[in-house]
Structure 1
Amino acid sequence: MRTVNSNDPASAPRFDPEAQGPAPDPDATGAVEPPPQPEGMPGRETHERKAAWRRGEARAAERAGGSEPPRDPYSGLAHPGIAAHAFAALSENVRDYAIFLLDPDGVITFWGEGARLMKWWTQDEAEGGHLRLLYPDGGSEDGTAEEHLLQAARDGEYTGEGHRVRNDNSTFWAGVTLTALRDPEGNLLGYAKVTRDLTARRAADAALVAAHEAAEQARRHAEEASQMKSLFLATMSHEIRTPLNAVMAYTEILTMEMAGPLSPAQHAHLGRIRTSSQHLLAIIDDVLDLSRVEAGRMVVGRSVMQVDAVVSEALALVEPQASAKGVELSSAVSGVASELTAWGDSERIRQILLNLLTNAVKFTDPGGRITLSAGAALQPPDDIQVEGEGPWIYVRVEDTGKGIPADRVQAVFEPFVQADMTLTRQHGGSGLGLAISRRLARLMGGDLTLRSTEGLGSTFFFWLPAAPAEMVRADMGHPSVATPATTAILREVRDAILAEVERVLYGFVARLRSDPATPSAHARTEAELEDHLASFLSDVAQTFGGMDLAAGSDGEGIRDGSDIQRRISQRHGEQRFRLGWAESEVSREHQILSEELAAAIRRHIRRERPHEVEEMIDAVRVFLAAGERVSIESYRRAAGVLSA
């Protein structure tokens, strides 16, 4: 093994920082012409840059002509001794890098002060030692010293990262560059090694990776928790709906005095039960809506709708509530505003407006005022979250109510939160309406925002993407992106059946008494013909409104509702047999009932896409067909055709 004498005078000279020399010439230049005078005058730098460009062009032309300008590959235009002094100066004075030299076999021949400060090996220890003394036993993550020397000799350079060993056997993460040094004939003279301590950077990178992984894990956990919460809410809502539907159905049965006559006080108690049940059912509907939105199962349509039409419908529905409380309700949607059109799901838009209006009525004192207006904007305000270039349509609901404190404005859009929880106890409600409304607005590409001053009132802005007015006609009758079997439509059908029960019963009885196919009904009393049909229809409505077609309609609530309908249908078949009806008359009366109920639903529900209403009517007919089958079976058993 060859050794090197570190005191060999042939080795690179040490830089003496105490040495003095002449001061640099301030007018020195690489240009032919002297720089602008005096010193510090603007333009001296540009003068030098222009000279550099000209010099580069001249040398390139020389090379193209076959005459290479004289230049040493290691010292350039400098004297070789100057280049050696420069290397020594860098090695001794640069602190961020360890710079040292090795001979062709990898033995260290020059060890600078920067190398000592980084690697802690002294000059006496390092010079004369092989490069491998800086590597862990068996090599580092990036390989061994011998492999790196071989690669640098073969390729001209090795660059990599890995652990290196200090004087006290501690390690640090190093970024290294090992460069082969050759003479003009290509003979290997040795190697130059530059090392940088990357421990801090690597630790920072590791911390960033760990933070990213922790954030990603937290995000996954949050999503899982949100999904579990939504599943829990949906499951609990369905579980609560199951007994609630039964309570409402049995309340109707008691009200019909099927188990015996009731006193006025008992009727009043049943009325309170019915009202409380309907209130609880509305809260359950809100919880289900929220769980669907958060679980990503809420589907909204995208069609063109006229703002004025939806606003008018919402106002008509809220007008009785406002009048009863003595709150003035007015619409300023007129003129140009009445012709505005927007993209969205008209059913969901109506739901949002109803929520805003009912809240305004709820929290506005008698004698107050609620005003609806609409408009358009090319650019939305900074406080809304929308995507796209616009333009935008907004509906503004402004009231003179109690207002909301500034620190509670955003909180009212969170689930189960209201501006003042004492108002929740006073006025009722779950605190879900605004949370659902904002989520629905954003699903449609819009937003819902609020401006409020405590004591002066609140103003809600409902934003939607604008649509060309000429598309309103083209969009009529065409299916929306959303499937029609949405919860909102189901509830709308439920409400239609409940609202039209009396009218359905009247038409049903009138047709039975005049239809040639039902002669047994012509002389019967109204009570005999109706035969608890009101309870049957009420239970169908409640069961239908509780369906969730997206999740499947075979839940406990549907089965419990069908059980009540089955009991009523069984009694109906028995009653028709006792009255002497023919089986064909029982079938005919169910056909009449189906026609009357379909007409009632069409009267009560006015939608832009009639095919959605027809699909819901077909779904209702499934319940009626099941009731008809049970009635026929019960009729046949009473007649002795079927065994009990």
Structure 2
Amino acid sequence: MSRITDPERRFQLLVDSVTEYAIYMLDAEGRVASWNTGAARIKGYSADEIIGQSFSRFFSLEDRRSGMPERLMAEARDHGKAVSEGWRIRKDGSRFWSQAALHAIRDEAGELIGFAKVTRDLTEQREAQQALMESERRFRLLVEGVIDYAMYMLDPEGMITNWNRGAERIKGYLAGDVVGRHFSMFHTPEDRRAGLPARSLHTALKEGRFESEGWRLRKDGSRFWASVVIDAIYDEDGRHIGFAKITRDISERKAAQEALAESEQQFRLLVGGVVDYALYMLDPNGIVSNWNAGAEHIKGYTSDEIVGQHFSRFYTETDRAAGVPFRALSTAAETGRYESEGWRVRKDGTLFWASAVIDAIRDESGRLIGFAKITRDITEKRNAQLELRRAHDQLAQAQKMEALGQLTGGVAHDFNNLLMVVSGQAQLLRKKLQDDPRALRALDAIEASARRGEDLTRHLLAFSRRQRLQPTAVSLSDRAGALKELISAGLPSRLSICVDLPPSLWPVKVDPGELELALLNLAVNARDAMPAGGALTLVAENTTLEAGKHEDIQGDFVAISVSDTGVGIPPDILPKIFDPFFTTKDVDKGTGLGLSQVYGFAKQSGGTVTVSSELGHGTTITLYLPRSQAAPAEGGQGEQEEPATAVGAQILVVEDNPEVAEVAAALLEQLGHRCRVVGNTAAALAALHEGEAPDLVFTDVVMAGEMDGLALARRLRDEHPDLPVLLATGYSQTTQGLGDEFPILHKPYKLDELSRAVSATLAQPSRGNLVRFDSARSARRKRDGQRPT
């Protein structure tokens, strides 16, 4: 082989490192001229044994008699290559199933000087995939007579314009039966209803190609699983003239399709010219010695531009300065292989994310003579993975919030009922034990614990955004003094406090009580971050957020920032600070729900919250609250008149929890009212027509049965419009959008709260007229024929 040069020798060594393929050369007469390690492994001959022998010895006797070796050489000589598949013979006489390609090699003058032969042993795959034998037989028939594929054309509207023998055999129709008809006739009724035929043509026209698998119909109505490819066809002027459609019956291959997908993809890449991979060699110093079409496609350099240059030019300046190229070659030389992913640089200076493999190449004596390098552009894959990861993270967060919200709702209702019993019984006992100081101290502890439980539930509801807010327009600058006083009350004198809420601030739409609680929680956290003293600053400014900059909110907001000069938050802790029950404090120093309330309040108010912190330099937490278009209420309006305390009312208590019902009735009786208790809404409706008519219905919201407390209240409003109804709830999502439809008393409630709620409800207007409790009761009893008491 006098024509072979030194770079070609190196390339031969690259080929020799591929052990899964027999790659060798033939001279013009078909005699073996070179032999790689893969050929020796697959066919059993050493290079000394086979070089100079005719390649026909690898064929079976019947193939040699039929002249197959000569035909393949003739085909490769005339057409540039010949592809074949069939049984071949090893040195020991055993057969293996071969997939081979024979390429003609010509010199610069176009004279044939030999052939390149690539053979792969597919025996194991063939034996392990007996289910594919029929499909492979059909494939050979397709090559010989194209009868295993339905191949036909469609016009731009999807009408069939021609029909081949494979289509006739697979689908059962003659050409005269189908030409001129729409190809949707082969789809199942459900696919036609779903618009699949039109969608497949649209995809092929938009993207150039449509591929799918699914059920198709034969003439006799039977179904088969089809592999379908539709390609858009354009004329020389680029005008769309129709579609080429190829259908194959792969019913028997359906079960094995997933196992074959990867190998088929690799085969297509090989046949297509390996343009998706940069394959090239380096000398021991990292100098590029050859260059393939894939490398040119990916990196932008032609062979003339890059051969002789150092491969480090593909790395970023940062990687070169850090010695990444040198370490890659050192690792490959020491271990035989180096794999990595990272940014690489194209000729035009653009970056792409690359998957790179470097294999050390050694000669027969083990001496390092260079490296084989394979690079693939996986930028789109990486972006998709990052996007998928972000989507998974967002979904996980949303699912966590939803799960916590549902859990909180159920727990809040039951927990508040328990607190109602504890708190209510304590209030009842207080009057009986008012002369026993020791008992009163015990009751104080019980009530304090109940209040802590109530606060705990309130914080959980705030975090999960299920707290019932009463937003109104609030002027922060008007409340500056009160907010400073609120914050200062819980802070030690070692801290300096600055509150800057300028008059130019927009009003915000928030629940004032929850706003104060959020700011108080932030102040307490700032206090704990400054054990040795420091400065706490509360400032606010108007800001407009653009879409996409702060999660999913945009528009006008007021940014309220609470800053401290404390110890700061470690970076690994920062993402967790808003999680419920997460705290770095001692067990008895906090619940871990303060910042959770801040987070939930901001989100439920239509805003968001951000945090920035640096160890040793303090923390800033910023609330973004939406601007209110309504003007805030004037500070001088004064408080509403407290309704007169009502006593002696007949109250119907509707509560399905016996312990809570007992406490509610006892508290009402302590207030001077008379009670009748029923355990469900059906009993409540019946009680309206039995005995003394009630002056007020006091009902729980959450109750079992066909009708809950809210439905009962609405029915009473329709049937007894002058009968007041007061709702009680530990938590119910059904009251979220209730507004001012009915008064609501939240469990656990105190005796004075119950008194005010009952008095206010009895004094509320009815159908536009203000009716006082005593006159309404007299009128109702007169109507019902009862004697006033």
Provide the TM-score with structure 1 as the length reference: 0.45
Q: Higher relative contact order at CA 8 Å, sep ≥6: structure 1 or structure 2?
A: 1
Q: Based on CA coordinates, which of the two structures has the bigger radius of gyration?
A: 1
Q: Which one has a larger percent helix, Structure 1 or Structure 2?
A: 1
Q: Which one has a larger percent strand, Structure 1 or Structure 2?
A: 2
Provide the TM-score with structure 2 as the length reference: 0.38
